[in-house]
Amino acid sequence: MSMTISIRVSHLNAVKSSGQRGHDLRSGSGGPAYVDKQRTHENSVIIEPLRTQELREICIKRREQRNMKLALRKNANLATVGIITFGTDAQKVINALSKQEQDEMFSNVAHAIAEHLDNEITGLVVHRDESAIHAHFQMPSFRKDGHPNTHRIKKSTTRELQDIAASQVAKYQITRGKSKAQRIADGDDISKIIHQSVEQLHNTLPIALQNAKDEIAELNDIAEHAKQALLKETAKLTELKITIAQQQERLQKNERLLAEQKQKLEAGKVSEEKAMKRCEVYERRANDAQKQLEDAQTKIAELYKQYEYYQNAVITLQQKLSSDEMNYTRRKEEMQNDMDAFTSGWRQLANQVTKLPPAQAVLFLSQLSNGINSITDTFEKNVAKDQQQPTTWTPRRP
């Protein structure tokens, strides 16, 4: 029976915490493709996660208690985030609760964890639009005493968090999960344990690959936006070139008329008073035309900068898009190859271990469980890296 609750936490910098906030709130395109958008309205934003600037301000203020000489690094972790999930059988129990009861349960778990870590919850969102109900929570990456969460959250602490979470759902007969070594020692079926580890990876792989596809699609949208902006600036540039040509023609015309009036005055063909008035008009027009010409030239110089900005943006984004697409294809093949090798290897191992005497099998797999955990953790970290790697690029405006 998988009547269990599980807590996983990680520490994120500004870029990654912003991406996690977008995922939690389903902002932008509404979330990854595996999300059932028809059920997104059923999600609960119990506490809207803070933005990166708000998190940074809290972290800076808390660090000041320690009289730190160095400022907070630009790429420092700003948020500690976590996810609350349940085993298959426990999900049925949670799904049977009302939405209000679910929200209250998730809130109790999250706040109990934050209290244990001397921190506070600054974001809590329940997702009901994916394959299984779960909740994401957010905390500042620095505790109330000014020390970073990374100093507090160690491997032993994560075990404590599982106990704390389990205590909040004990009334539903839900407990914390057991380690693979403990499950083996308790006599659980070895092949089933290994199969479940492989199944978890199979469930995670499509999500990671879909996130990569979504990021590529987002880059396509950004590149298209830059192209449209470039076309718009090019049209403005063309209009200004026409305006400059017209002003140059007007300037030349008034300078010619002014010269003609001076010649007529010298030849006595026009009175001095009339010639002076005409000269003043033509000179004023010539000055106006000159000023408009200079303004147009200044503006066209600015537009050229904008033109170069968007042109460089398009080129850079297209190059990055091409690189991301190649990396995605390579990564997909690598992950699938790793998955195939992982599945094949563990199946062979399971067959060999079942042939051992029970006592030797328990001892061997107990020692091997750390290796299983290490492989799983490494894979999950790679998936998290694929999910959180920022792909957008913002060129510096002129």
**Pairing, β 123-127 against β 134-140:** antiparallel
- Cα angle value 162/335/11 (rounded, 5°): 35
Query: What percent of the chain clears pLDDT 70, i.e. is strictly above it?
Result: 61
Strand partners, 9: 82
Cα 303 from chain centroid (whole Å): 32
Burial 162-198 (b: 16+ CB within 10 A, else e): bebbbebbeebebbbbeebbebbeeeeebeebbeebb
Tokens representing residue 213 in the block: 């596809």
Tokens representing residue 329 in the block: 């294809």
**pLDDT band for position 182 (cuts 50, 70, 90):** low
CA distance 24 to 201: 22
Domains, in order of start, for the chain: 1-177 (3.30.930.30), 226-321 (1.10.287)
Q: Taking the CA atoms of the chain, what radius of gyration do you get in angstroms?
A: 33
**pLDDT band for position 312 (cuts 50, 70, 90):** confident
Q: Is the pTM of this model over 0.75?
A: no
Does residue 79 have a pLDDT over 80?
Answer: yes
CA proximity to 55, closest of 139, 121, 130: 139
What is each CA distance from 49 to 123, 161, 327, in whole angstroms? 4, 21, 31
Does residue 217 have a pLDDT over 70?
Answer: no
> Per residue in 315-344, pLDDT tens?
776 677 677 677 777 776 777 777 677 667
Q: Between 154 and 46, name the one with better pLDDT.
A: 46
Per-residue confidence (pLDDT) for residue 213, from 0 to 100: 59
Q: Between 168 and 269, name the one with better pLDDT.
A: 168
Average pLDDT of the chain to the nearest whole number: 76
